[in-house]
């Protein structure tokens, strides 16, 4: 049994007296819960400075890498909370999906919620499209495709649990490596019991889902703050092995004259 460990340490991108931005590696919890215990970003920060009451403003799934904003005091936490409510904190993700998505733009609007006792669902936390769920909106800008895969720029306009992964699975382009919303959801339970196995490697290809929180912006004291995190080495390596994706330029005609186009250049 092989249980993957974070391939690199968390990185503080920027820090001031009120907040900091952390670049989280995969296989590290954002915040421990009753059901999920283990090393976390919050624990790592508290070990760095036990005197600061760090508070995560949002979270990333354990296997998702990328940017998180963390408040260092209650006033900053309340300020960021108001921005979250008004959807003033913007996020952008890079994702590698199965299937060649041959489009310039897709907008997915679908109500999401827990599947609970739905037929065939054994996993309590699994999300899906449910009639009375929370309306969720995701914008997808394909950047290129080849060899049976696509590289996507994804903007979640809402913040539902597992939103990007569920929406991509719904259109039959699940995130590569996704144990829960990929080709075989039973891998999620098996992984929890046995860790990473050869069978999973053959089917899932990657030990974690290929989703990276690459961009984060918000307003602070009247100024727009923007942060970037390039694609991590494990996902770069995977792209390099895929025919027609190894030399892909981060590009999309719709984004050419859009502020998000400039963001992609920062990530190239």
Looking at residue 39, which CATH number applies to its domain? 3.30.2350.10
Residue 6: inside a domain: no
Start-to-end CA span in the chain (Å):
36
61 is a catalytic site residue: yes
Residue 205 falls within a domain, yes or no?
A: yes
- Domain membership flag for residue 180: yes
How far apart CA 100 and CA 105 sit, in angstroms, is 13
Q: Domain of residue 228: give its range.
A: 11-267
Mean pLDDT of 23-52: 88
Tokens coding 216: 């984060």
Residue 144 pLDDT class (50, 70, 90 cuts): confident
pLDDT of residue 65: 98
pLDDT digits (tens, 9 = 90+) for 105-133: 999 999 999 987 666 667 778 899 998 89
Name, of 30-34, 68-72, 85-89, 148-152, the range with top average pLDDT.
Answer: 68-72
The verdict on residue 226 lying in a domain is: yes
Give the mean pLDDT of 128-145.
Answer: 92
- pLDDT at residue 193 tops 90: no
2 occurs within a structural domain: no
Count of C-beta atoms within a 10 Å radius of residue 247: 9
Average pLDDT over residues 198-208: 95
Distances (CA, A) of 215 to 15, 109, 265: 16, 22, 12
For the entire predicted model, the pTM comes to 0.92
Confidence of residue 244 (pLDDT cuts 50, 70, 90): low
Per-residue buried b or exposed e for 90-119, using 16+ beta carbons within 10 Å of the residue's own CB: bbbbbbbbbebbeeeebebebebbbbeeee
Residue 4 lies in a domain: no
Q: Is pLDDT of 217 > 80?
A: yes
The most confident of the ranges 7-11, 143-147, 257-261 is 7-11
pLDDT higher than 60, residue 247: no
Of 86, 69, 67, the closest CA to residue 18 belongs to: 69
**Percent of the chain having pLDDT more than 70?**
89
Q: Is pLDDT of 97 > 90?
A: yes
The pLDDT of residue 34: 63
- Among residues 23, 18, 177, 28, the alpha carbon closest in space to that of 97 is found at 177
State the pLDDT at residue 162.
Answer: 96
In this predicted structure, the answer to whether residue 249 has a pLDDT above a threshold of 70 is no
The number of folded domains in the chain is: 1
Positive or negative, the CA dihedral 129, 131, 133, 139 is positive
The one catalytic residue in 23, 61, 178, 234 is 61
Q: Classify residue 210: in a domain, yes or no.
A: yes
Any domain includes 218: yes
pLDDT at 70: 98
Cα distance between residue 3 and residue 120, in whole Å: 27
196-219 average pLDDT score: 95
- Mean pLDDT to the nearest integer, 55-83: 96
């Amino acid at each position: 049994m092989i249980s993957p460990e974070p391939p690199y340490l968390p990185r503080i991108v920027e820090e001031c007296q009120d907040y900091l931005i952390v670049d989280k590696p995969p296989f590290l919890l954002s915040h421990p819960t009753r059901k999920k215990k283990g090393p976390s970003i919050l624990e790592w920060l508290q070990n760095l400075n036990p005197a600061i009451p760090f508070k995560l403003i949002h979270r990333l799934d354990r296997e998702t890498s990328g940017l998180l904003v963390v408040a260092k005091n209650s006033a900053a936490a309340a300020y960021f909370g108001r921005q979250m409510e008004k959807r003033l904190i913007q996020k952008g993700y890079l994702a590698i999906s199965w299937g060649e998505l041959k489009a310039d733009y897709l907008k997915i609007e679908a109500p999401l919620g827990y599947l609970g006792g739905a037929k065939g669902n054994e996993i309590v936390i699994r999300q899906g499209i449910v009639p009375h769920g929370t309306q969720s909106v995701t914008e997808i800008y394909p950047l290129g495709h080849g060899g049976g895969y696509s590289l996507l720029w994804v903007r979640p306009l809402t913040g539902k649990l597992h939103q990007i992964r569920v929406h991509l699975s719904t259109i039959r382009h699940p995130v590569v490596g996704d144990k829960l919303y990929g080709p075989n959801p039973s891998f999620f339970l098996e992984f929890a019991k046995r860790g990473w196995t050869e069978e999973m490697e053959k089917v899932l290809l990657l030990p974690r889902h290929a989703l990276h929180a690459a961009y984060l912006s918000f307003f602070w004291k009247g100024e727009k703050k923007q942060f970037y995190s390039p694609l991590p080495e494990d996902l770069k390596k995977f792209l390099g092995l895929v025919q027609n994706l190894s030399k892909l330029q981060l590009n999309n005609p719709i984004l050419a004259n859009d502020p998000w186009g400039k963001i992609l250049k920062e990530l190239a």
